[in-house]
Chains A and B, each alone.
Chain A
């Protein structure tokens, strides 16, 4: 069954891997993939690489320095104060 839907492009396949599609478009892409083993294999391979990257890049490398956390806390306080000034203005 070939309904008159937007043709599925490479950009759609990337967007599918990146979970950027609304559910309607996901279903269209999945229908497209179900009928095309080569494209489906490519998407699975992209998903695998994406997940592996998430694991491979997960650690922050153990280079943390206290000065960074200090700067983070200062920003937390600064943002909090900023909001209150905003309310008062």
Chain B
């Protein structure tokens, strides 16, 4: 008696397009590079399609997708460890080139740079919670670590950002290089 139900408009709607902004933001925080981030999101969506059976009805779609982005990222890093150094470099250059002129933007660029200089696991944890608003438990699940590990990563990330606050731009002087013309 359920037979004919299949094609009807009662089909549940899964708004993946609406999640792309979140996924791209997270991918950028992980890769620190726009092109790389877009590749990552694309690959994660392909993988999500292959594993669509693992999404449970009533589950949190965004958390599920973010965890796939995370896993895809980890696999990419593993399979291309030799390229990690190159990515690091690219990320750093991209950061420096985005500093904007206004004072407010300068501050934002500093915060951003400090964030991008955090270790990957701390960046990931802080991003999932502070930017995407996941609960600690959801973020722990998305990154495949115990709750306590996730929380200590958040704590260490915050401590590092505070450090930056207290000792502004120390050691970041490579951005202040003045041309040799005078």
Interface residue ranges, A against B (CB under 8 Å): 10-11, 14-15, 17-20, 42, 45-46, 49-50, 52-58, 60-65, 67-69, 71-76, 78-80, 82-84, 86-88
For the complex, what is the distance from the CA of A29 to the CA of B69, rounded to whole Å?
Answer: 34
Q: Is the CB of B25 within 8 A of A60?
A: yes
Nearest-neighbour CB distance to chain B for A8, whole angstroms, equals: 14
For the complex, what is the distance from the CA of A65 to the CA of B45, rounded to whole Å?
Answer: 13
Nearest-neighbour CB distance to chain A for B25, whole angstroms, equals: 6
In the assembled complex, B154 has its CB within 8 A of some CB on chain A: yes
For the complex, what is the distance from the CA of A82 to the CA of B154, rounded to whole Å?
Answer: 36
Which of B73-81, B82-90, B127-135, B170-178 participates in binding chain A? B127-135
Return 25 A-B CB contacts under 8 Å, by A number. Answer: A14-B154, A18-B136, A18-B154, A19-B133, A20-B129, A20-B136, A45-B165, A46-B161, A46-B162, A56-B111, A56-B112, A56-B115, A57-B115, A61-B28, A63-B24, A67-B42, A68-B45, A72-B17, A75-B48, A75-B49, A76-B13, A76-B17, A80-B13, A82-B55, A87-B5
Known: A50-B130, A61-B37. A14 touches B158 (CB 8 A): yes
Q: Is the CB of A18 within 8 A of B49?
A: no
**Of listed A14, A74, A86, residue having the most chain B CB within 10 A:** A14
Q: Is the CB of A75 within 8 A of B14?
A: yes
Which B residues touch A68, using CB under 8 A? 20, 38, 41-42, 45
Interface residues of B in 6-35 (CB under 8 A from A): 6, 11-17, 19-21, 24-25, 28-29, 34-35
Q: Is the CB of A63 within 8 A of B37?
A: yes
Nearest-neighbour CB distance to chain B for A34, whole angstroms, equals: 21
In the assembled complex, B53 has its CB within 8 A of some CB on chain A: yes
Q: Is the CB of B2 within 8 A of A88?
A: yes
Q: Is the CB of B111 within 8 A of A82?
A: no
Known: A62-B34, A68-B20. A57 touches B45 (CB 8 A): no
Q: Is the CB of B45 within 8 A of A72?
A: yes
Q: Is the CB of B20 within 8 A of A72?
A: yes
Known: A52-B111, A79-B52. A15 touches B136 (CB 8 A): yes
For the complex, what is the distance from the CA of A19 to the CA of B131, rounded to whole Å?
Answer: 12
Q: Is the CB of B155 within 8 A of A14?
A: yes
